[in-house]
A and B are shown apart, each in its own frame.
Chain A
Amino acid sequence: MKQPDPSSIVRLRVTGTPVEAMELLRAIPVEARRVIEREGQVTMDIFVERALLDKINAIGLHIDKLIDTRDPRRRDLAPVGEGNRFGGGRFPQGLGELEREG
């Protein structure tokens, strides 16, 4: 049986004071995205290891949203090709269009 990966990742939207947000950034290396400051509160999207959720709670940040990217329903949103679309003489065509000049 496959062992659970202790570094499995969750995507979070968290909200807290600027002090709490900075404490998180110091404590954990994260790339914070979609950072919004409003009415003395900072909201940001981050990826963290699931094991760090307790630490985030201890800092005082509120977890607004937690996305489990293992959810199989997510696969339908961005399907992956099966097999090989570039075998047998087929090659990428590019998405730009050619327009004859003159």
Chain B
Amino acid sequence: MEKYYNTQEAEAAVLALEQQYPALAKAIALPKLTASGKQSHALHLSTDFAAKCPVVVIIAAVHGNEWGGCEIAINVAADVLKTLSAPAPSSLVYGPKKFKSHEIHGLLARRDLVIFPLVNPDGREFAQTPGEDRSWRKNRRPPLVDGGPVGVDINRNFDLLFNLAAFDPLAPSPAGATPQSHYYQGPGPFSEPETANVVDLLNSFPSTGWFIDLHCTGPEIRYAWSIDEAGANTAQNFMNPLFNGQRGSIGGYQEFLNGTDATEMARLAKRFVADVAAVRNVAYLSGPGFVNAPTSGTSHDYAYSRHRHDPRLGRVLGFYVEWGQISTRNDTGPDDQPPPAEMSEIIKEVSAGLIGLCIAT
């Protein structure tokens, strides 16, 4: 990769993959247009679209300043498709790490992949505009008043504990309550079209069992919960207002987490870590998201919370990946976009991790 994708070609990439592999890939037009009027697409990978296999959903570029996640999502889709389409059985190789042909074919025989590479095109477009803010994280929701602050942090806009009074006021702040904030949660849950598109994707694929959101201040893979430490007391859960004002601190309240789910998320995260490390020996951390401080309204916690909130919905194990090595990048003073040569290596190792995780489901 020599240059990052602009928003036009990120969308074009999804449609081009559908056109190149029509039997294996279908583009999905998401229903909500962004503030600037952009249409977003996801890509559904399947070897049997009628079978409705359990689905792994991967989303990326929720934040405007996290460019490379989009490239990871598009390239991992391209790699899976070209392996499935190879004229003779071929392994998919990332440096020393190989996935045998039967592993990739076996994965798609059991699972569908739904990949949404660019959730927040407006934010990305702004961050990629010369002279604008490359650290722009939010979408481009227009200000309420002329000259006012723009945008909402999509990864604080889901409806899980949107009411910040649910958290201990002495705990680290889980989201921005005002539009000026870099982490502004928005005027209401699901207020943003980008958020609604992710929700629509989960609703459209009720057989989704796994959800992975790609971000970029790694190296780590985390999983539910991020609202608080996990615990075994079923009464301590995000729906119980008796515990408002107690969440988000270390100790005390613990968010109920089914033990089987906790074990499974830890197992899959370890598989991701192992396959990432197999490419060039970069050590990713794994564990619950709460270790990075409490956050509300995030996509991975929302995905996992859905079946607790509505028992008719299937259980979705929720993960997020923070790719890359921010400590390395800091030493050379850049922002969230590694130079393309390094980003290419990150794409390979994270692709290996994602494929390994999917195979292990």
Interfacial residues, chain A to chain B (CB-CB below 8 A): 3, 5-11, 13, 22, 25-34, 45, 47-49, 51, 65, 67, 69-70, 72, 74-75, 77-87, 89-102
Contact = CB atoms under 8 A, between A and B. Distances in A.
A62 to B, nearest CB: 17
Nearest to A13: B330
A16 B5 CA distance: 38
Nearest to A84: B9
A95 B351 contact: yes
A85 B71 CA distance: 13
Contacts of A5: 133, 149-150
Given A6-B148, A91-B78, A80 B4 contact: yes
Contact of A84 (B12, B149, B172): B12
A29 B12 contact: no
Given A47-B135, A47-B182, A92-B17, 11 more contacts: A25-B173, A26-B171, A29-B172, A30-B173, A79-B3, A81-B4, A81-B5, A84-B8, A91-B78, A98-B91, A101-B89
Contact of A69 (B9, B335, B338): B335
B133 A8 contact: yes
A34 B330 contact: yes
Interface residues of B, number: 84
B142 interface: no
9 contacts: A13-B330, A32-B293, A77-B337, A81-B4, A85-B12, A87-B9, A91-B13, A94-B81, A97-B92
A30 B337 CA distance: 19
State the main secondary structure of chain A at its contact with B.
loop
Contacts of B4: 78-81
A34 B326 contact: yes
B199 interface: no
B98 interface: yes
B144 interface: no
A16 B82 CA distance: 51
B174 interface: yes
B183 interface: yes
Given A31-B217, A93-B82, A70 B134 contact: yes
